[in-house]
C-alpha cells in the first residue's frame, strides 16, 4: 500500500507529518491491517532531527516504566539511594558512583526488555531452548548489576548512616 503524507503545522509552529489513509483503504481492508502496514512503512525511517530521536528514546523508557515491574523497582531504589546520599551529604564522587551504578542497572533492564521483545517476536508462542537461554542470560546480567549497585550503595551509605544513628542515640 502506498500511502500519502499529510503535512500540518500547529499553532505553535511545529510541523508534523502524518500518514494519511484514503477512505478506500479503510473500506477495502481491515483498518488495523492498513495501520500496521503504514507503521511498518515508517518504522525504517531515520528520525529527522535530534529532538525526534530523544522522543523515541523517551518512549522506550516510558514503555519500560509502564510495563516492567522490575524497572519501576530499580527507579524507586535509585531515588532512595540518591536521596540518602544527599541526606548524609556524601561526597560528589560517591554520589556519582551511586548514580552510575544505578544507571547501569536501568540500562541493562532496558536492554533486557528489548531483547525479550525481540525474542518473543521471533519465537512467538512456541518454546525454544535458545530463546530461554537468551532471556535468562539477559536477566542474569541485570541481576549481577543490581547486586553490584546494592554493594556500592551499601559501602558508600552505611558508614554515614551508622554515624548518624550513633549521634542520634
Q: What is the pLDDT of residues 22-60, one digit of tens each?
A: 444 445 456 567 656 655 665 666 778 899 999 999 999
Q: Of residues 13 and 69, which shows the higher confidence score?
A: 69
Question: Which residue is it, cell 540518591?
Answer: 82
pLDDT, one tens digit per residue, over 72-90 is 999 999 999 999 999 999 9
The single residue of 33, 94, 109, 129 carrying the catalytic annotation is: 109
Please indicate whether residue 109 is annotated as part of the active site. Answer: yes
pLDDT, one tens digit per residue, over 14-26 is 444 444 444 444 4
Binding annotation: 56, 109, 116, 135-136
Inter-residue contact 101 to 153 (CB < 8 Å): yes
Q: What percent of the chain has pLDDT over 70?
A: 73
Binding annotation for a divalent metal cation: 116
Residues of the chain with CATH 1.10.287.3610: 53-168
Binding annotation for substrate: 109
Query: Can you name the CATH fold of 53-168?
Result: Helix Hairpins (1.10.287)
CA distances from 119 to 61, 77, 97, 128 (A): 19, 28, 33, 10
Where does residue 145 rank: exposed (0-12), middle (13-18), buried (19+ CB within 10 A)? Answer: buried
Residue 67 has pLDDT above 70, yes or no: yes
Mean pLDDT over each residue of the chain, to the nearest integer: 84
Amino acid at each position: 500500500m502506498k500511502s500519502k503524507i499529510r503535512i500540518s503545522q500547529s499553532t505553535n509552529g511545529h510541523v508534523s507529518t502524518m500518514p494519511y489513509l484514503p477512505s478506500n483503504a479503510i473500506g477495502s481492508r481491515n483498518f488495523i491491517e492498513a495501520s500496521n502496514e503504514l507503521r511498518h512503512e515508517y518504522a525504517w525511517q531515520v528520525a529527522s532531527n535530534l529532538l525526534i530521536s530523544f522522543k523515541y528514546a523517551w518512549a522506550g523508557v516510558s514503555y519500560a516504566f509502564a510495563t516492567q515491574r522490575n524497572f519501576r523497582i530499580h527507579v524507586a531504589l535509585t531515588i532512595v539511594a540518591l536521596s540518602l546520599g544527599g541526606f548524609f551529604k556524601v561526597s560528589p564522587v560517591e554520589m556519582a558512583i551511586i548514580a552510575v551504578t544505578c544507571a547501569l542497572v536501568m540500562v541493562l533492564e532496558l536492554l533486557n526488555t528489548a531483547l525479550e521483545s525481540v525474542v518473543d517476536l521471533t519465537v512467538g508462542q512456541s518454546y525454544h531452548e535458545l530463546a530461554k537461554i537468551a532471556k535468562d542470560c539477559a536477566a542474569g546480567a541485570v541481576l549481577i548489576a543490581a547486586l553490584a549497585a546494592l554493594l556500592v550503595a551499601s559501602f558508600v551509605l552505611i558508614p554515614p548512616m551508622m554515624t548518624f544513628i550513633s549521634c542520634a542515640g
